[in-house]
C-alpha cells in the first residue's frame, strides 16, 4: 500500500513538471508573438501615417473628404449639371445617388448587369455597357430621368433619386444628403473656395489634356497659354517676350506648343470668363471653374491656381487670400 502511494506521488510530481514546462513554453511563445506583432505593426503604422491624397469640403455640419477619383467624378457630375443649366439641386441629387450606387467610382460591375457611376442597367433600357461606362453619357442619362420627375426640385433628395433609379433600397439615399449638398454647393460656386485638396503624389504636367477636357465642359470660357522660365531659372522675373509666348483657344492655335519645352519652362493657363457678368455671377462662375481645376490638379499636374483674389498651391493644399471678383483665373504648371 505504501509503495502504491509512493508511485502515485512520483507520477503526480512528474505530471506537474511536464505541465510547468508546457506553461513556460506557452509563455515564451506568446512573448515571441507579441514582439513579432509589435514590430510588424510599427512598420504598418509608418506606412499608414504617410499622407494620402484627398480633397475635402467643410460646412457648419462637418467635413466631407473624398479620394481624388471620387472628387473628379463629383466634379464631372456637377459640371454637366452646370452646362445643362440645371439648378444646384440637380447636382446634389446626382452626387447623392452616385455615392450610394458606386461610392462615386466608375465601376465596370454591379448587381446583375448594373455598371457605372449610377449602376444603370442595360437590360432596363439605360444604354449599352460601353455607353454607361462613359461618365458623360451616364450622367446625362441620369439627368434626363431626373428632370422628368414631378417636383424634383422641391421633394427630398432621396425621393428624387429613387424616382429615377427605382432601387430596392430607397431609404439608403438619404444618408448622403448632407455630404452631397456640401460638395454641390462648393462645386457650383455657391460657396467661395469651397474645396481644398491635399496632393502629395507628383504627376506629369499635361496642360494640353486639361485644355481639351475643360473646353468640353466650359465652352464659354476662353483660354490663353503663357510660357515663361520658372523662378529657379529666371530670378529677375522678367516678362520680356523672349521668355513668354501665348496661344489662345481658337481653332487655329497650336495646343501642342509646350510638348517639347524643357523642365525649366513654367506654363500658365489663363481662363477668361464671358464679359458682362455681374459681380456675384463673376465670383460664382470663377469658383465653378476653379473647383473643377483643383479637382483635376493631380491628374493634369497643376501646381497652383489663382481665382477671385485667392490662391491654392499644391504645397500648402489650401486657399489663401481675400475674395474679390476677377474675370480671369490661372492654373500654373512647373
Evaluated on CA atoms 137, 85, 181, 73, the torsion sign reads positive
The pLDDT-based confidence of 240 (bands split at 50, 70, 90) is: very low
Q: Give me the pLDDT at residue 22, please.
A: 57
**Predicted local confidence at residue 229, as pLDDT:** 62
233 pLDDT higher than 80: no
- Give the integer Cα–Cα distance in Å for 313 and 86: 31
- What mean pLDDT do residues 103-116 have? 97
Specify whether the backbone of 322 is left (phi greater than 0), alpha (psi in -120 to 50) or beta. beta
- φ/ψ (deg, to 5) at 9: -65, -45
Residue 82 grid coordinates = 452646370
Phi and psi for 306 in degrees, rounded to 5?
-120, 130
Question: What percent of the chain clears pLDDT 70, i.e. is strictly above it?
Answer: 74
Least confident piece of the model among 68-72, 239-243, 250-254: 239-243
* 213 pLDDT higher than 70: yes
- Residue 172 or 261, more confident: 172
Q: What is the pLDDT of residues 136-182, one digit of tens each?
A: 999 999 999 999 999 999 999 999 999 999 999 999 999 999 999 99
Domain ranges in the chain are 53-188, 202-229+264-333
- In this predicted structure, the answer to whether residue 193 has a pLDDT above a threshold of 90 is yes
Residue in 82, 274, 302, 312 with CA at minimum distance from that of residue 193: 312
φ, ψ dihedrals at 254, nearest 5°: -105, 95
pLDDT, position 36 = 36
Instruction: Grade residue 243 by pLDDT with cuts at 50, 70 and 90.
Output: very low
pLDDT higher at 2 or 322: 322
Average pLDDT, stretch 283-306?
98
Give me the mean pLDDT over the 61-88 stretch: 97
Give which of 192, 194, 223 is closest to 324, Cα–Cα. 192
pLDDT digits (tens, 9 = 90+) for 305-316: 999 999 999 999
- Residue among 280, 281, 256 nearest 206 (CA): 256
**Global confidence as pTM:** 0.77
Helices and strands counted in the chain (H then E): 10, 10
Residues in the chain: 334
Q: What is the DSSP string of 40-108?
A: HHHHHHHHHTSPPPEEEEEETTEEEEE-HHHHHHHHHHHHHHHHTT--HHHHHHHHHHHHHHHTT---S
Asked if 193 and 104 count as a contact pair (C-beta separation under 8 A), the reply is no
- At 179 the pLDDT is 97
- For residue 202, the model assigns a pLDDT of 85
pLDDT at 158: 97
CA angle 25, 29, 30 (to 5 degrees): 120
DSSP for 230-263, please give it: -TTT-TT----TTT--EE-SSTT--TTTTTT--T
Of 72-81, 195-204, 236-245, which range is least confident? Answer: 236-245
Measured CA to CA, the distance from residue 246 to residue 230 in angstroms comes to 16
Q: What is the pLDDT of residue 239?
A: 36
Average pLDDT, the chain: 83
- Of 237, 294, 247, 295, the residue nearest 268 (C-alpha): 247
Q: Which of 3.30.420, 1.10.530, 1.10.1240, 2.70.98 is the CATH number of 53-188?
A: 1.10.530
Residue 4: per-residue pLDDT: 47
The region that residue 62 occupies, defined by phi over 0 for left and psi between -120 and 50 for alpha, beta otherwise, is: left
Amino acid at each position: 500500500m505504501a509503495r502504491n502511494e509512493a508511485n502515485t506521488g512520483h507520477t503526480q510530481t512528474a505530471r506537474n513538471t511536464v505541465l510547468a514546462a508546457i506553461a513556460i513554453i506557452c509563455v515564451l511563445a506568446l512573448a515571441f508573438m507579441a514582439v513579432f506583432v509589435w514590430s510588424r505593426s510599427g512598420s504598418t503604422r509608418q506606412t499608414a501615417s504617410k499622407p494620402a491624397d484627398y480633397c475635402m469640403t467643410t460646412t457648419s455640419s462637418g467635413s466631407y473628404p473624398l479620394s481624388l477619383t471620387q472628387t473628379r467624378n463629383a466634379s464631372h457630375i456637377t459640371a454637366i449639371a452646370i452646362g445643362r443649366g440645371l439648378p444646384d439641386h440637380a447636382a446634389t441629387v446626382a452626387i447623392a445617388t452616385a455615392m450610394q450606387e458606386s461610392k462615386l467610382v466608375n465601376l465596370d460591375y454591379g448587381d446583375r448587369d448594373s455598371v457605372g457611376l449610377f449602376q444603370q442597367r442595360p437590360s432596363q433600357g439605360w444604354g449599352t455597357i460601353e455607353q454607361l461606362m462613359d461618365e458623360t453619357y451616364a450622367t446625362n442619362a441620369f439627368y434626363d430621368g431626373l428632370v422628368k420627375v414631378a417636383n424634383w426640385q422641391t421633394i427630398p433628395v432621396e425621393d428624387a433619386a429613387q424616382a429615377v433609379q427605382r432601387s430596392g433600397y430607397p431609404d439608403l439615399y438619404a444618408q448622403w444628403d448632407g455630404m452631397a449638398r456640401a460638395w454641390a454647393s462648393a462645386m457650383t460656386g455657391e460657396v467661395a473656395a469651397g474645396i481644398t485638396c491635399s496632393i502629395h503624389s507628383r504627376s506629369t504636367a499635361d496642360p494640353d489634356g486639361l485644355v481639351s477636357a475643360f473646353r468640353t465642359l466650359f465652352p464659354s470660357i476662353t483660354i490663353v497659354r503663357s510660357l515663361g522660365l520658372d523662378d529657379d531659372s529666371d530670378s529677375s522675373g522678367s516678362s520680356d517676350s523672349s521668355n513668354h509666348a501665348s496661344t489662345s483657344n481658337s481653332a487655329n492655335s497650336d495646343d501642342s506648343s509646350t510638348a517639347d519645352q524643357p523642365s525649366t519652362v513654367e506654363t500658365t493657363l489663363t481662363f477668361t470668363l464671358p464679359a458682362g457678368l455681374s459681380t456675384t455671377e463673376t465670383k460664382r462662375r470663377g469658383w465653378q471653374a476653379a473647383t473643377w481645376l483643383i479637382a483635376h490638379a493631380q491628374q493634369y499636374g497643376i501646381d497652383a491656381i489663382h481665382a477671385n483674389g485667392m490662391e491654392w498651391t499644391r504645397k500648402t493644399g489650401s486657399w489663401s487670400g481675400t475674395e474679390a471678383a476677377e474675370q480671369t483665373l490661372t492654373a500654373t504648371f512647373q
